[in-house]
Amino acid sequence: MSRVIFTIGRQYGAGGRTVAAEIGRKLGIPVYDNELLTEAAKEFGYSPDIFKKRDEKHHLFGLSRLFSTQAYNAPNYMGDNMLFEMQSKAIQDIATKSSCVIVGRCADYVLRNEKNLVSAFLTASMPVKVERIKKRLEVDEKTARKIIERKESSRKNYYNGYTLGNWGESSSYKICLNTDELDIEACADILIDYARKAGFVE
């Protein structure tokens, strides 16, 4: 199999991490979420703090403020953007090592010039996401909805702030899936089939 990179953007409760794990299992390739990115970064000589300090949260200033004159005077401006650059370099290094699946972290944008890239975004309706989060976290409906809204707001701000793109907008990805009526294996199969039909996987 030639080197193929899957990047998984996802709404909270859409099943992104489990779909990523299933792709990895079916193809026998590593899957990197936040914790595993931290471990992998160490292998390339990066401090583990580059992923631990920022859990897909946009802190005050990002690339979208690059041309703001006020941004240059902010004490944490360079820190946050340099941190994102380091994260991006670590992701690029990881992706050059072997085929893999990377969850979140603007990986679709960071690796947009990769030849064999399957950038996917997973979505689901709010009722479905609420039911999944209620079950996973054992919380009531109101709490589940608040958690989803907070998580998605954070992910949107992070992506839009650092990439100048639009999180979840279909044109930003090669394939988008609604997981309301699809189980984890079906979603993984669809993305793998896309890679095969594109000639990335034999």
Give residue 70's pLDDT. Answer: 41
- pLDDT tens-digit map of 149-158: 999 999 998 8
- pLDDT tens-digit map of 55-101: 545 444 444 443 333 443 443 433 567 777 878 888 898 898 889 99
Task: Identify whether the C-beta of residue 137 lies closer than 8 Å to the C-beta of residue 118.
Answer: no
- 202 pLDDT higher than 80: no
What residues contact residue 59 under an 8 Å CB cut-off, 6+ apart? Answer: 76, 80
Q: Model-level pTM?
A: 0.80
Give residue 119's pLDDT. Answer: 96
Give residue 37's pLDDT. Answer: 65
Task: Identify whether the C-beta of residue 9 lies closer than 8 Å to the C-beta of residue 118.
Answer: no
Tokens 């690029």, residue located: 92
Residue, of 105 and 86, whose pLDDT is higher: 105
- pLDDT tens-digit map of 12-49: 999 999 999 999 999 999 999 876 667 666 766 766 66
In what side-by-side order are the strands of the sheet with 31-32?
A: 31-32, 100-103, 5-10, 117-123, 175-178
Find, among 118, 136, 112, the residue nearest to 187 by Cα: 118
Tokens 């669809």, residue located: 190
Q: How confident is the model at residue 163 (pLDDT cuts 50, 70, 90)?
A: confident
What residues contact residue 31 under an 8 Å CB cut-off, 6+ apart? Answer: 20, 21, 23, 24, 100, 101, 102, 103
What residues contact residue 174 under an 8 Å CB cut-off, 6+ apart? Answer: 117, 118, 119, 120, 194
The mean pLDDT of the chain is 83
Residue 145 token pair: 């909805």
